[in-house]
Amino acid sequence: MWYYEKKLQYPVRVRECNPRLAKFLIEQYGGADGELAAALRYLNQRYSIPDKVIGLLTDIGTEEFAHLEMIATMVYKLTKDATPEQMKEAGLGAHYVNHDNALFYENASGTPWTASYIQAKGDPIADIYEDIAAEEKARATYQWIINMSDDPELNDGLKYLREREVVHSQRFREAAEILKEERGKKVYF
Amino acid sequence: MFTQRKFYTPYVSPTDPCPPIRIKSYETPPQLYLGFQPPCLPQYATAKEALYRGTLWPALYSPYESPYKRGDTGE
Amino acid sequence: MNEPLTSAYYDLLEEIQAVDFVLCELTLYLDTHPWDEEAVRQFNHHAKQSRQLKKQYENQYGPLFQYGMSYSSYPWNWKDAPWPWQV
Ligand SMILES: [Fe+2]
């Protein structure tokens, strides 16, 4: 089971009300390489992978939920009290008529999140390499959002999240090495 | 000298409509080189510094700034 | 809790976030390096520190966990604002 902890993993700050940046950030909330997809991908793969990497998938999957909450916090702060007029100017008019200021699991162009963002091949090597690729894609997405953002306080949080993808990729690369190891290979029939 | 950003110069056609970006670049962060992390790597001095870097180990730290703001894409 | 939080709150929260971050990093590291004894020692040291800081935090600002992982005062204060995204 899981326990919720009533705190963020990292102090999230946002300088100003800016729904335009929220529209970009939603990519990491409900997009293909976003935090929701990451969390669900890793936690789902746990059931069909060798025991020695289940712990890692569990812990990175759990951390991704902490990142999802950070993104939600950024979007919440960027759009809190934004008027319908401001939402419209930010390109969030269509979002507004559907959801008001509510968050929604969608990508930056408004496409709803879908389970087909998640691969689960059942082959340990294919799945771990999928995870390495997912981390690199999430890292790249953070770079493109940072390139679009002029809010230094928001960028501080985004750079932190980008760095976490670097570390996750490192650990998945190590997991691939562990799966390749000779130790524990012997099976007699 | 090792860098976490690599540069290349794509072909520029005289008929390209957008003003050409002559030097392009991409990120090559440390996890591409570290291999299986060796034990006892140096750590950041305080927990707070680790938090704000986003990692406990300088060997895994990857700084990032927008290349458009840094001005190393273009000219 | 409707009066705005003081800087003492943010300082203590930041201290917890820092210690817990080290624990997060060591958790992932130990998942692939289970035989690193020094890292296990560091992990246990920080786990203890985290517990002490959270005890102090919960005495002042209310429970961090539910389902019995934290004690409650009377009246039940888990549901009190602010929530993490509001601070
Ligand atoms: Fe990640």
DSSP A114-157: -GGG----S-HHHHHHHHHHHHHHHHHHHHHHHHH---HHHHHH
d(CA A122, ligand 1 centre) in Å: 20
**Residue B66 maps to a domain:** no
Give the pLDDT band of residue A131 (cuts 50, 70, 90): very high
Tell me the helix, strand and coil percentages in chain B, rounded to 5: 25, 15, 65
A135-172: b (≥16 Cβ within 10 Å) or e? bbbbbebbbebbeebebeebbebbbbbbbbbbbbbbbb
Helix (H) or strand (E) holding A68: helix A54-79
Nearest residue to B30 via CA among B41, B46, B45: B41
A56 touches chain C (CB under 8 A): yes
**Residue B75 maps to a domain:** no
**pLDDT for position A103:** 96
**Residue B34 maps to a domain:** yes
Chosen for mutation from A53, A163, A169 (greatest number of chain B CBs closer than 10 Å) is: A163
Contact A160, A67 (CB under 8 A): no
**Residue B43 maps to a domain:** yes
Task: Answer yes or no: is pLDDT of A154 > 70.
Answer: yes
DSSP-assigned letter for residue B18: S
Ligand 1 ion local residues (Cβ < 5 A): A 165, 168
Contact residues, chain B, for C19 at CB < 8 Å: 47
**Residue A14 maps to a domain:** no
DSSP-assigned letter for residue B40: T
Give the count of beta carbons closer than 10 Å to the beta carbon of residue B66. Answer: 17
A141 Cβ partners below 8 Å, 6+ apart?
Answer: A27, A28, A31, A33, A34
Q: Cβ-count burial of B9 within 10 angstroms (0-12 exposed, 13-18 middle, 19+ buried)?
A: exposed
| CA atoms of A99 and A92, how far apart (whole Å) | 10
**pLDDT for position B8:** 97
Give the pLDDT band of residue B4 (cuts 50, 70, 90): very high
User: Between β-strands B5-8 and B24-27, what pairing exists: parallel, antiparallel or unpaired?
Assistant: antiparallel
**Residue B68 maps to a domain:** no
pLDDT digits (tens, 9 = 90+) for A55-103: 999 999 999 999 999 999 999 999 999 999 999 999 999 999 999 999 9
**pLDDT for position A115:** 97
Q: Return the SS3 of B5.
A: strand
Q: Which residue of C has its CA nearest to A163?
A: C25
**pLDDT for position C3:** 78
Count of structural domains within chain A:
1
pTM of this structure: 0.95
**Residue A189 maps to a domain:** no
Out of B36, B48, B50, the one facing C25 most closely (by C-beta) is: B50
**Residue B47 maps to a domain:** yes
B23 touches chain C (CB under 8 A): no
**pLDDT for position A184:** 61
A9 touches chain C (CB under 8 A): yes
Tokens found for residue C64: 């961090």
**Residue B17 maps to a domain:** no
What's the alpha-carbon Rg for chain C, to the nearest Å?
A: 15
Out of C22, C33, C38, the one facing B56 most closely (by C-beta) is: C22
Tell whether ipTM is more than 0.90. yes
C13-45: b (≥16 Cβ within 10 Å) or e? bbbbbbbbbbbbbbbbbbbbbeebeebeebbee
Of chain A, the percentage scoring pLDDT greater than 70 comes to: 97
Q: Which residue of B has its CA nearest to A168?
A: B31
Q: Return the SS3 of A31.
A: coil
Q: Which of residues 55-84 of C touch B (CB under 8 A)?
A: none
Helix (H) or strand (E) holding A28: helix A27-30
**Residue A35 maps to a domain:** yes
Contact residues, chain C, for A55 at CB < 8 Å: 31
**Residue A3 maps to a domain:** no
Tokens found for residue A108: 């930056």
C31 touches chain B (CB under 8 A): no
Q: How far apart are the first and last CA of chain B?
A: 23
**pLDDT for position C37:** 98
**pLDDT for position B74:** 46
Q: Supply the range of the domain harboring residue B31.
A: 5-12+22-60
pLDDT digits (tens, 9 = 90+) for B15-59: 999 999 999 999 999 999 999 999 999 999 999 999 999 999 999
Task: Answer yes or no: is pLDDT of A187 > 70.
Answer: no
**pLDDT for position C1:** 52
pLDDT digits (tens, 9 = 90+) for C32-85: 999 999 999 999 999 999 999 999 999 999 999 999 999 999 999 999 999 999
Indicate the residue type of A46.
R
Q: Cβ-count burial of C57 within 10 angstroms (0-12 exposed, 13-18 middle, 19+ buried)?
A: buried
Give the count of beta carbons closer than 10 Å to the beta carbon of residue A187. Answer: 5
Residue A152: CATH number of its domain: 1.20.1260.10
Task: Answer yes or no: is pLDDT of A137 > 70.
Answer: yes
Enumerate neighbours of C (3 or more CB pairs within 8 A): A, B
Contact residues, chain A, for C32 at CB < 8 Å: 56, 171, 174-175, 178
Contact C36, B39 (CB under 8 A): yes
**Residue A2 maps to a domain:** no
Out of A10, A140, A173, the one facing B31 most closely (by C-beta) is: A173
Helix (H) or strand (E) holding A24: helix A19-25
List chain C domain ranges: 7-86
Task: Answer yes or no: is pLDDT of B75 > 50.
Answer: no
* A160–B52 CB contact, under 8 Å: yes
